[in-house]
Amino acid sequence: MKKTGISSRLKKLLLCSPLLFLLTGCSDKYILLNPAGPVAQTEHRLILLSAILVAIVVIPVIVLLVFIVIRYRERPGNQAPYQPNWTDSKILEVIWWGIPILIVAILGFATVRDTFALTRPPSEQKPITIQVVSLDWKWLFLYPDSNIATVNYCEIPTGVPVQFVLTADAPMNSFWVPQLGGQEYTMPGMEMRLWLQADREGVFEGRGANFTGKGFAHMNFQVVAKPQSEFASWVKKVKGSAPSLTQEKYDLLAKPSVVNKQSYSSYPPALYQNTVNKNGGIYWHHPMPMNEPHQMPMEN
Amino acid sequence: MLKSLISYLQNANLMIQISAVAIILTLVGIVFALTYFKKWGWLWREWITTVDHKKIGIMYLVCALLMFFRGGVDALLMRTQLAFPNLHFLNAQHYDEIFTTHGTIMILFMAMPFIFAMFNLVVPLQIGARDVAFPFLNAVSFWLFFFGAMLFNLSFVLGGSPDAGWVGYPPLSELPYSPGPGVNYYVLGIQISGIGSIATGINFIVTILKMRAPGMTLMRMPLFTWSVLASCIVIIFAFPALTVALALLGMDRIFGTHFFTMLHGGNPMMYINLFWVWGHPEVYIVILPAYGIFSEVVSTFCRKYIFGYKSMVVSLMMISIISYFVWVHHFFTMGAGPGVNSFFAVASMAVGIPTGVKVFNWLFTMFRGRIRITLPMLWTLAFIPCFAVGGATGIMLAVAPADYQFHNSYFLIAHFHQVLIGGVVYGLLAGMYFWWPKILGFKLNETLGKWAFWFFNLGFYVCFMPQYALGFMGMTRRVYTYPAESGWGTLNFVSTIGAFMMGIGFLFIVAQILYSIRHGERDTTGDPWDGRTLEWSLPSPVPHYNFAQIPVVDDMDAWWKMKQQQKEGIQPQKEPLKPIHMPSPSSLPFFMGLAFFICGFGLVFNQFTIATIGLIGVVICMLWRSLEKDTGYYISVEEIKKNEAAVRGL
């Protein structure tokens, strides 16, 4: 039957298509393949490395399968050898235990190296800190250095490492800005840390990645990266013109709803710590080690 | 409670009201048909009270196919909603309920009963046993599964479906964020069927270790039986973690405790760990038997011994052990330190090594064989490339820093559907086609089966390949809609087309079964595929006592060897004919399941009187069983001889 031969080839083409997406990195729509900072860059490099390494096994498997099915198909007059009792070969077994072990060793090495690297600031510049609170169903950003706050967008200076300190005042969500780097969960009562950095100007789409109920699909935000000087003048503008976020306004904001972008010139200084504490952070009576990245209170 | 249920139905949307009416009409129809055709006695004697592993297997299979249908309809509803941006086919609440039930049903009420069907239908026959070690317990397992599944499905029409995702993470699944009975249904439905699953795991481990035919040493055991052993070992170590997680979540919701809340010292991370301590091994519980099925199918349809038998056994056992050391890869992004993430990343990649070895061994079983492309073989051939790609994307996800980008995205969705459909579903379908004639006495129609195969298999690629790409575009899972500017529209539309192709494929399978019941090719030989293992030495369908005489085994692929020897005039060894001891049928497993159901239903609605009544019922059933003096019955030698002459056409 010819049908199988052709359709297997067709299948092979289809199978390779995700790899093609990876290797060409084509259009702007594939934001994971269009990193805008060192963290996303490292992750992007690992994605490519892993894709190439797994292809070393996947492609021969598919080629072999097609070859074997065509050659050893039962049909009258098939001259191919038939050895029903041939059941093992030391050399072959060594090959296919050995190659995957080698691949895992290489990939494992790169993974461990980068896993540790990504918990450190991505560059030597003096970092800034932004506290992030995920709410039902919006994102609140607090700037402890300048005491301004924003909702559903934040601005960051380019070329500067940004430490996002994440928590939630709602079911846990996940903070993800694909072009700047991978995500980290926001959990009520806990603090998580994520280093990101933008190397070029731009508006980068971010989203809540973990399901939190009805309004979850609308939990998008934007990260605006601009040069240090423009960033400073933006802070000044917000400080001068925006209303302030009082506790009452926060309580209203924390209620389930979907809202537009907002800016605030100030917020109650204890707002962030109170939010962590009231959701259970109070049970982790440990000082937060600010300079040790990725240290969760839980682990102390 | 009744009032709140009635008001729920009055306020529910049209779709649910129509379903409620349809369910009532179907029930009335079934009752009417059973009465009209005078089948109540038959149903009770032959099925409900049976402890025969073959009949229990058939009941599991029927339930699995029905649940496959329901889970599939859920999938099509979701794909329809996502076909275009900003669609209002479903609202957020409905979409949330549907993806929750889709996931829960497909894993726990489709894949699990489907593998249990295969365990029950095949294992005792393959090892030369007359039943499982504990036939009564086996029936209890089935009825617990059945009533657990019923309780879960009831949520759709009575009170509202769970909507916190199939993983049910607190705090979202706790009372403040998920009030109402939905999540209670989830907790109790899974809990009840989960107890049955643990019992099945114990039952089959004992059966395989203690009840093999004389001469069948472990290293002569068919690979499917090996895979069931590996899977059951994983079940008995993994399922208790789920039982604990759900029990504590249930107590939080029903009795107001604070195990997983954020307040009063609770900690949701504990739930997430416990859930995945079960959840990851769970995917190996369902995939390992599929590996076993592929091994049997490849060997049979290439007329060749399996290549690298020892390697196959070693890799099965390695997978069942390593599968315990990978669970954190489901939450690399929840703040574990780099040391923990590194360990679980490398362990997750390492699980790919024995799996890769298995793929090569299957390929080299075909190499220098003679490949007969029948339906079971067709699904096996489709499995290999599909699973190779699914496994490859799995390795990519195991790279912890890369997972920071893939986590919760459609890349992940495409990956696990590819391994669960391309691995588990293809495997179980291959197994169903393979053993169907053995159990039911007729083959399933090839032509309709090929239509089903091509629609389902091509539909799979059309549905899921675009989802990998959507992952790279940053599309997250569980969004009920997306804006047009996202640029996700085209690929989502293509994906939806693929889903409907798979739906058509499933309908062809249904048509194939219905057609073949009347017109399928009857199997009169008992060995329609030129099989290799002991089940093919029996007539089809298999008599209730399985083996008139227990065969004596002296090599792998025992039946193949016996056939070769018979050609040379050597008759196979068998134990002498003597009376066969059989377990008596019992209605207790059914009532015990029913009592669990009543207890669960009471707890769902915080009606403690009903729950207590159910619990007392459970205790009474257990006492009754403990004090029962029935030790089974014997089939006489004359009766066996008469029956064997009839079924073997002598």
Least confident range from B1-5, B88-92, B225-229: namely B1-5
pLDDT tens digits, one per residue of B294-319:
999 999 999 999 999 999 999 999 99
Looking at residue A25, its pLDDT comes to: 45
Distances from the Cα of B110 to the Cα of A50, B149, B420, angstroms: 33, 10, 12
Positions of E strands within B533-578: none
Q: Are B532 and B299 in contact (CB under 8 A)?
A: yes
Give percent of chain B above pLDDT 90. Answer: 85
Q: How many CB atoms lie within 10 A of CB A76?
A: 4
B356 in A contact zone (CB under 8 Å):
yes
Coil, strand or helix at B350: helix
Compute the count of residue pairs across chains A and B with CB atoms less than 8 Å apart. 282
B384 has pLDDT over 50? yes
Phi, psi angle pair for B212, to nearest 5°: -75, 150
Coil, strand or helix at B381: helix
B264 has pLDDT over 90? no
> Which among B342, B471, B478 has CB closest to A216?
B478
Q: What secondary structure letter does DSSP report for A73? A: B
B13 has pLDDT over 90? no
B311 in A contact zone (CB under 8 Å):
yes
In B, which residues are within 8 Å of A214 by CB distance?
Answer: 92-93, 96
In B, which residues are within 8 Å of A133 by CB distance?
Answer: none
pLDDT tens digits, one per residue of B140-186:
999 999 999 999 999 988 888 999 999 999 999 999 999 989 999 99
B71 in A contact zone (CB under 8 Å):
no
pLDDT tens digits, one per residue of B126-145:
999 999 999 999 999 999 99
Looking at residue A6, its pLDDT comes to: 47
Residue of chain A minimizing CA distance to B308? A88
User: How far is CA B271 from its chain centroid?
Assistant: 24
pLDDT tens digits, one per residue of B426-447:
999 999 999 999 999 999 999 9
Question: How far apart (Å, rounded) are the C-alpha atoms in residues B605 and B294?
Answer: 44
Which DSSP string do the residues of B213-269 spell out, in sequence order? PTT--GGGS-HHHHHHHHHHHHHHHHHHHHHHHHHHHHHHHHH---SSSSGGG--HH
In 3D space, the residue among B334, B329, B418, B332 whose CA is nearest the CA of residue B382 turns out to be B418
**Based on the number of CB atoms within 10 Å of its own CB, is B29 exposed (0-12), middle (13-18) or buried (19 or more)?**
exposed
| Residue B543 tokens, joined | 């008599």
Across the interface, whether the CB atoms of B472 and A30 are under 8 A apart is answered yes
Question: How far apart (Å, rounded) are the C-alpha atoms in residues B199 and B142?
Answer: 10
Q: Please name the amino acid found at residue A130.
A: I
Instruction: Work out the pLDDT band at B290, boundaries 50, 70, 90.
Output: very high
Which residue ranges form the domains of chain B, and what is each CATH number?
Answer: 39-575 (1.20.210.10)
B23 has pLDDT over 90? no
pTM of the full structure: 0.93
In A, which residues are within 8 Å of B307 by CB distance?
Answer: 86-88
Largest CA distance in chain A: 88
Looking at residue A299, its pLDDT comes to: 37
Q: What is the mean pLDDT of residues B475-482?
A: 95
User: How far is CA B649 from its chain centroid?
Assistant: 36
Cross-strand partners of A220: A207
Instruction: Work out the pLDDT band at B3, boundaries 50, 70, 90.
Output: confident
Q: Please name the amino acid found at residue A3.
A: K
B263 in A contact zone (CB under 8 Å):
yes
Q: What is the mean pLDDT of residues B22-37?
A: 85
In 3D space, the residue among A22, A196, A54, A16 whose CA is nearest the CA of residue A121 turns out to be A196
Which DSSP string do the residues of A117-155 spell out, in sequence order? HTTS-SSSSPPEEEEEEEETTEEEEEETTTTEEEESEEE
Question: What is the residue-averaged pLDDT of chain B?
Answer: 93
**Based on the number of CB atoms within 10 Å of its own CB, is B107 exposed (0-12), middle (13-18) or buried (19 or more)?**
buried
Across the interface, whether the CB atoms of B349 and A80 are under 8 A apart is answered no
> Which among A97, A170, A182 has CB closest to B404?
A182
Residue with tokens 């995700």: A18
Which DSSP string do the residues of A163-229 spell out, in sequence order? EEEEEESSS-EEEEETTTEEEEEE-BT--EEEEE--SS-EEEEEEE-S--STTGGG-EEEEEEE-HH
| Residue B554 tokens, joined | 């002296």
Q: How far is A178 from chain B (nearest CA, A)?
A: 6
Looking at residue B650, its pLDDT comes to: 59
Q: Are B436 and B430 in contact (CB under 8 A)?
A: no
Residue of chain A minimizing CA distance to B304? A84
Tell me the ipTM for this assembly: 0.91
B231 has pLDDT over 50? yes
pLDDT < 70 stretches in chain A = 1-27, 284-300
Coil, strand or helix at B522: strand
> Which among B363, B399, B479 has CB closest to A50?
B399
Looking at residue A18, its pLDDT comes to: 52
Q: How far is A13 from chain B (nearest CA, A)?
A: 11
Across the interface, whether the CB atoms of B353 and A181 are under 8 A apart is answered no
Residues in chain A: 300
Question: How far apart (Å, rounded) are the C-alpha atoms in residues B29 and B649?
Answer: 39
